[in-house]
Amino acid sequence: MSGKFLARASALSLAVFLAACGGDENSTPIVPIGEQTGGESGDESEPGAEQEQVITLGSGQDSSFIEGQIKTNITNLAPRGTATLQVSIVDALNSNKLITDRDVDVSFRSGCITNETASIDSPVVTGSGIAETTYTANGCTPTDTITAFIDGTQASASVVLNIESADADRIISKAPQYTSIAPAGSGSSSRPSESEVGFRVVDQAGDPVPGVEVSFSISGDTASPTIPVTIDPPEATSDANGEISTLVIAGSDSTVIRVIAGIETVDGGLSETQSPPIAINSTIPIENGLTLAASNFIPDAQFTAGTTVDFTVFATDKNGQNVRGNTTINFTTTGGSITPECQLNQDGACTVVWRSQSLWLTKPEITATTIGELTAGGVGTISQTGELFVSSSKDPSVDLTVGTRAGEYCASVSVADRSGGRIHPPTGTEVAFAIKDGEILSAETTKTVRGGSLPIDESKYVACVFAEQTDSAVPARLTVTVTTPGETVVEDLISL
């Protein structure tokens, strides 16, 4: 195709511009800078006279010029092959002579260049009337039509290249989307029951090969699952980048599977590879796999609103595996208040907060509930209940007496509850022993209420040490000081 324009030539330059009229349907009229608006046009041979040109792209020049054709040194390319493309820029009104009086930008395009399975140097700037570039196939097959054009004109030329397909040599696995997924029926948005697995078909040089049929299969599923592991699709064709993928859909059993991908090689053999392993695990919780733990079993909260205790629930499935990220646990309490629910994390655990407030109970029960496998069989509501012993720092008392063993002395510590009774002191209560004119034989002279479990004796806390006189003629005096978390202090003493 050609593009028509007007140009004014001078000794130094040629200006290109739109013409007011003239040219055929494929022409691009251009009017020269400094065009006279009055009078008749002079003779074209006179200096400064307007000259009309029709830019045309093709191959050759003068009488051998072929319009619309790109010249190439090769039309049948090997995989990853290259070709030299050459296009002539001529003036159709000047016997198809090359346009050499100015630089012209020639651009190239094709379908494979657009989808990046081929590359080319473009645009090409030339003042010789011939634009030359190199085309490289990078997976494009089987044909590609390359078109040369000049922006702002209708001039164009093209050529069709035939490109051989590379032979598939092997298939390479890629990392799965997820390496651990939930069994069928146990998936969630945070931990799905599906994982995409990708592969890449390449030739001997390691370059991608498109259009290759790939078949998929599964290895590693259990012998007789209720729901088997499946893949979708079971076979597909590699894309322009040699890539292919399939979706692993988990079955009902916990297992570790791999996807096997296979291709037929050029010699008729089979080339296979397997994906990295994908673990399918963590079904629903089981009744005896639900565990409830508290951060403090003996909080100082009888008379204080807003004291908090963390409750953590742990859940395992029938295989002893953590139930990961796909189960909600509900919580209730008979005293105080508690966070209503939590979602199990990837470690099969989640935590809520109990808070002291009305209803005021010394021994509130906290219950965690969810849906799981019953010990008796089937699926239903399963639960685990824990208990707190809510103590106080109010009105502590201590009674230091002789113990049951020789040289043993024991302090019995209690505090007041809301009903006026005496109960075990709270976590953090310290019982410190000191002696005058004697020696404490026990390595630990200060005992602390830990709160890691419920108290064995709910009415008091007992701390004992061994002590003796250093001089039998001088009585020793053993003192005990009790300090609660509320910083109330009480003491008692005994003579040895």
Spell out the SS3 assignment of 61-84.
CHHHCEECECEECCCEECCCCEEE
Beta bridge partners, 27, equal none
Q: What pLDDT score was predicted for residue 346? A: 86
Distance CA 1, CA 18 (A): 18
Q: What pLDDT score was predicted for residue 5? A: 41
HSE-up of residue 444 (Cα within 13 Å, Cβ side): 7
Among residues 316, 321, 313, the alpha carbon closest in space to that of 289 is found at 316
Domains 2-163 and 170-280 share a fold: yes
**pLDDT (tens digit per residue) in 327-383:** 899 999 999 999 999 999 989 999 999 999 999 999 999 999 999 989 988 889 999
Give the strand pairing for 180-181 and 278-280: parallel
Architecture in CATH of 397-495: Sandwich (2.60)
Structure-token pair, residue 300 = 């100082």
pTM for the whole structure:
0.60
Neighbours of 150 (CB within 10 A): 20
Give the strand pairing for 337-338 and 124-126: unpaired
Distance CA 459, CA 293 (A): 23
Distance CA 151, CA 392 (A): 88
Q: What pLDDT score was predicted for residue 241? A: 86
Its sign, for the CA torsion 338, 340, 343, 348, is positive
Among residues 83, 84, 85, 211, the alpha carbon closest in space to that of 139 is found at 211
HSE-up of residue 316 (Cα within 13 Å, Cβ side): 7
Beta bridge partners, 51, equal 7
Instruction: Name the residue ranges covered by the structural domains of the chain.
Output: 2-163, 170-280, 289-387, 397-495
Tokens 């063993």 belong to which residue?
A: 405
Q: What pLDDT score was predicted for residue 1? A: 53
Report yes or no: 390 and 443 within 8 Å, Cβ to Cβ. no
Report yes or no: 236 and 275 within 8 Å, Cβ to Cβ. no
CATH topology of domain 170-280: Immunoglobulin-like (2.60.40)
Distance CA 412, CA 447 (A): 12
Among residues 485, 439, 492, the alpha carbon closest in space to that of 463 is found at 492
| Domain over 289-387 is classified CATH 2.60.40.10 | yes
Q: Residues 171-199, buried b or exposed e (16+ Cβ, 10 A)?
A: bebeebbbebbbbbebbeeebbbbbebbb
**pLDDT (tens digit per residue) in 229-248:** 999 999 999 998 899 999 99
Q: What pLDDT score was predicted for residue 78? A: 87
Report yes or no: 461 and 453 within 8 Å, Cβ to Cβ. no
List the chain residues with pLDDT less than 50.
Answer: 4-46, 48
Residues 6+ apart with CB under 8 A from 193: 181, 182, 183, 184, 185, 186, 187, 249, 250
Quick one: 2-163 is in which CATH superfamily?
Immunoglobulins (2.60.40.10)
